[in-house]
Amino acid sequence: MSYCINPHCQKPQNSGNPLFCQTCGSDLLLDGCYRVTRMLSDPNRPSGFGTIYEVDDSGTLKILKVLHNTHPKAIELFRQETEVLKQLNHPGIPKVDSDGYFTFLPRDNQKPLHCLVMEKIEGMNLEEYLSQRNYQPISERAAVRWLKQIAEILHEVHQKQYFHRDIKPSNIMLRLDGQLTLIDFGTAREVTQTYMHKVAGQQVTGIISTGYTPPEQMKGKAVPESDFFALGRTFVYLLTGKCPDDFAENRRTGELIWRDGVTNISQRLANLIDYLMAPFPGNRPKDTQEILELLAVIEPTARATKQPVQNIQVPVSGGSSQQVAVVSGGGSQKESSLAFGLFWRRFLAFIIDLLVSFIFLGISIIVALNIVNEDDYGLANVVIIGGWIISTWLYFALLESSTKQATLGKMALNIVVTDMKGNNISFFRASWRYLLIVFFSYFYIFFVGMLVDFIVPFFLKKNRSVHEMMSGTVIKKRSP
């Protein structure tokens, strides 16, 4: 069968292999070599950009994109997309032949159609793939491997000063050999549609992929980091089996609340995905190289190697960071030495906070001397001890639950307190944490309490004190 691409043809399907359409008379052998076999675009969802077809090129099936928008700006950007795709050479990007771009004039049409022929990817897109799995989430191993593949593809694209702007599961193809391929390079389409809608004074709706488009792109201000946001949202879908739009967002920060109940991935991978889809572009990875460096930490093969490591910070929710070790060519610092270094930061911060606590004790004594009679020792003790306990409690609870996430001692040593997901802790959690510190530090013999709670556990695998485990908190080095 031969398919006519004349947009005004009433009956585009032709039986056999004729040279001309039996209905409108247009050429069916495009550019002298391409025969259209079928339309791949959904006829029930017409695009203002164009239509996608399957074509036969001397026995090889390829993809044909036909531009319907005849505005000069649309044509310019379509050609630009073509030239960029010709320059890119990566197994994760559809190949375009040097003569893949041509124009076609249907019968009785005054303006030609601009056409682009490219490689056809055998396989299915990731939206279809997850549907076939009944939306069963992929494993962490598959996620890391696929995330690395897409980051490498984007590295190639961004190096050409070009970015995709429409990354989502349906635009990522899984080849039969397991290689991912990014398709439907939408820069020309999206810029064109934005431009045309603005000219017409209409609301811009065509450039938004619900659940995946970043906030800045919705405002017409897409940047290369916009690809990272959409990439992070794509992996939320793959790791949960749910559309990102099904999850709520933090009203204060705009961050997606998706990690509750997800048990099939490590905290490091979850932190990286949150980093990718930070609401503000400046809080996302600065480039694809940074993503690849962070992935080297998470990859099972990288974790198993004994190569030297370099320590970097992975920003996570709430302004804190996850310290990780990246395989590198130099340095020999080990994670145990990192734990030792953080231990001394925490210990010195504790000494500073203890001195602050003694200042509160001194203030309580001064207040007691000024408001209590000299012979009323019982009331004086109540004022002193009560004032000391309340002021110290408020000092810890208010500062650790604030945006600073740290007491004065922790601020001085550049460390913060977060929950297990890297978010700010609540006043209640900070109060519970403080009470546990008091219990272990004062209601045991002081040294024994510190030994049981703070010193010994910190040198175990988790590197967390008992009161942190019980309160669901963790201390980390603040991100730069």
Which tens digits make up the pLDDT trace of 173-186?
999 888 999 987 75
Q: Is the pLDDT score of 375 beyond 50? A: yes
Say whether both 293 and 153 belong to one domain: yes
pLDDT of residue 350: 81
Contact of 262 with 206, CB cutoff 8 Å? no
Residue 327 lies in a domain: no
Supply the pLDDT for residue 117: 93
**Cβ–Cβ < 8 Å for 258, 249:** no
For 77-136, how does the pLDDT look when each residue is reduced to its tens digit (9 = 90+)?
A: 788 778 878 888 888 998 888 888 999 999 988 889 999 999 998 899 999 999 999 999
Q: Where are the alpha helices (DSSP H) in 63-218?
A: 72-87, 126-132, 140-159, 187-200, 215-218
- Please tell me whether the overall predicted TM-score, pTM, comes out greater than 0.85 for this model: no
Rounded to whole angstroms, the Cα distance separating 381 from 368 reads 8
Q: Domain of residue 79: give its range.
A: 2-120
In single-letter form, the type of residue at position 341 comes to G
Shared domain for 143 and 236, answered yes or no, is yes
Residues 176 and 220 both lie in one domain: yes
Instruction: Give which of 209, 211, 207 is closest to 249, Cα–Cα.
Output: 211
Domains held by the chain: number: 3
Is residue 202 included in any domain, yes or no? Answer: yes
Same domain, 250 and 195: yes
Query: So which residues are the catalytic ones?
Result: 166
- Angle between helices 140-159 and 267-276 in degrees, nearest 10: 30
Three-point CA angle 348, 472, 461, nearest 5° = 65
> The domain spanning residue 206 has which CATH number?
1.10.510.10
Residue that is last in its domain, among 280, 304, 328: 304
Residue that finishes a domain, picked among 120, 152, 186: 120
Structure confidence by residue, pLDDT tens digits, 437-451: 777 665 555 555 555
Same domain, 252 and 377: no
In this predicted model, what pLDDT tens digit does every residue of 66-90 receive, in sequence order?
998 888 877 887 887 788 788 888 8
Q: Are residues 24 and 167 in the same domain?
A: no
Q: Is residue 168 part of a domain?
A: yes
Domain annotation covers residue 364: yes
Average pLDDT, the chain: 79
